[in-house]
Amino acid sequence: MTAIQSVLGQLNQVILGKENQTKLALSCLLAKGHLLIEDLPGMGKTTLSHGLASVLGLSYNRIQFTSDLLPADILGVSIFEQDPTSQQGSFRFHPGPVFSQVLLADEINRATPKAQSALLEAMEEAQVTIEGETRPLPTPFFVIATQNPISSSGTFPLPESQLDRFLMCIELGYPSEQAERLLLEGKDQREIAKRLKTELTLDKLLALQEQVEQVKASSSVLDYLQRIVAYTRYEAGYQYGLSPRGALALLRSAKAWAVVNDGREYLVPEDIQAVLPAVVDHRLSQAAASNKQKVSQDILQHVPVLQ
């Protein structure tokens, strides 16, 4: 049993009947991307992110986003401290929760845009600048954010620029009947999540990330990927198409999927198709607002694999 399979096995103990989503979540982290989990409250978003952090054995912080959250609550703040003996004082930086390897931003769209954008630099550059001083974040650095559907009350939708910084956006959806029965019969899933075994060391995680980068993408696969990109830009009639960053995200995710799904060393079109909904839908849903269909479905039905 490979390390990946055991990680997946552990995760599937916590999230029942969602093998595809756990694979996507793991692929996202192996592709060094940030993950956004979108669903209604109570679908297991938090449980999944908990589980991921503990299985991968990474240091973990959680921020509950609320409407009165301030940037300093995320990044940290300098406080004047006085030594009671010497009576001399100085400003000392108290790092915020962002200084961890896995940051769980729970219900990210309940915070104001101001607080949301505090995460921006951290997510893109793995560093934060506070009071003019740039501080590096620990490596690896993952943001796993959960959000309620935009239509829920009391939410501030993430702007497109911020959505684009999440490599993938997955939905969990209702569990199947059998999974639900198991859930009802079993113990509290969060309890299980806390007691999950750590399956990976940091070195192993970095090695896996390296393996993902080594996956070979043949010219035929790249042709397919470029046809997808061209379709979103020129043919589908969307307001805007996939950006070059989006195209790169699609390629990286597909490579990670190839590793996670069956440890392949080369890419096949099925890998792209598997990650397509998670990578493309949240990037283009606003561009294709008039379409009833999801963007990924539209692409899958219209872009030929061979040409």
Partner 1 sequence: MTTKEPLSLPRHALPWVLLSQSYVLMQLVGHIPYWIYALFVLAVGWRSLTHMGRLSYPNSYIKAVVVVATSAAIIATSRFDLESATAFLVAAGILKLLEMRHLKDLYVVVFLNFFIQGIVFLFEQSIGYFLIALIGVWLLISTLVLAHYSDSQKGRYKRTTKMAAQLMLLSLPMMLVLYFLFPRIGPLWGLTLQSNKALTGLSDQMNPADIAELSQSAELAFRVTFDKQGIPARQELYWRALVLDHYTGRQWRAQHTPQLQWPMSDQEPTPEQRSYEIIQEATGQNWLFSMAPAATLERGIGINEQGLLRTRRPVFQRKRYQVAQDLTEALPAKQLSDFERRTYLQLPKGYNPKAQALAQELQQQSATELELLDKLMQYFYQQEFSYTLKPQILGKNEIDDFLFNTKAGFCAHYAGALTFMARSVGIPARVVAGYQGGEWNETEQYLTVRQYDAHAWVEIWQPEFGWLRYDPTAMVAADRIEFGLEQALAEEGSFMEGQLFSMQKYKSVAWLNKLRISLDTINYQWQRWVLSYDNQRQKGFLEKVLGFNHWQQSLYIIAASFIVFFLIASVLLWWRLRAAKPSPFIQAWQKLQTRAQKLGVQPKTGETVTQYCNRLIQACPQHEALIQSTAQQINQWLYQDDSPDDKAMQEAVIESIKHLTKQLSVQKG
How crowded is residue 176: how many other Cβ atoms within 10 Å of its Cβ? 12
CA dihedral 220, 225, 229, 231 (to 10 degrees): 60
Shortest reach from residue 300's CB to partner 1, in Å = 5
Shortest reach from residue 30's CB to partner 1, in Å = 20
> Which residues, 283 to 302, sit near partner 1 by CB under 8 A?
299-302
Assess 151 for contact with partner 1 (CB under 8 A): no
Shortest reach from residue 155's CB to partner 1, in Å = 28
CB of 117 or CB of 297, closer to partner 1: 297
Q: Confirm if 265 and 215 have CB atoms less than 8 A apart.
A: yes
Shortest reach from residue 291's CB to partner 1, in Å = 12
Assess 226 for contact with partner 1 (CB under 8 A): no
Alpha helices in 1-98, H assignment, sequence order? 3-14, 19-30, 45-56, 71-75
Shortest reach from residue 299's CB to partner 1, in Å = 7
Assess 230 for contact with partner 1 (CB under 8 A): no
Task: With H, G, I as helix, E, B as strand and everything else as coil, classify residue 67.
Answer: coil
Buried b (16+ CB within 10 A) or exposed e, 275-299: bbbbbbbbbbbebbeeeeebbbebb
Assess 20 for contact with partner 1 (CB under 8 A): no
Q: Report CA-CA distances (Å) from 44 to 51, 80, 169, 193, 219.
A: 10, 41, 15, 11, 39
Determine which residue in the list 94, 114, 194, 216 makes contact with partner 1, applying CB under 8 A: 216
Assess 219 for contact with partner 1 (CB under 8 A): yes
Determine which residue in the list 221, 242, 251, 259 makes contact with partner 1, applying CB under 8 A: 221
Residues making up the chain, counted from first to last: 307
Spell out where 148-220 has E strands.
166-170
Judged by CB under 8 A, the stretch of 31-39, 43-51, 90-98, 212-220 that binds partner 1 is: 212-220
> Which residues, 241 to 280, sit near partner 1 by CB under 8 A?
266-270, 273
Assess 214 for contact with partner 1 (CB under 8 A): no
Q: Confirm if 38 and 169 have CB atoms less than 8 A apart.
A: yes
Using CB under 8 A as the criterion, which residues of the chain lie in contact with partner 1 when the complex forms? Answer: 216, 218-221, 237, 239, 266-270, 273, 299-307
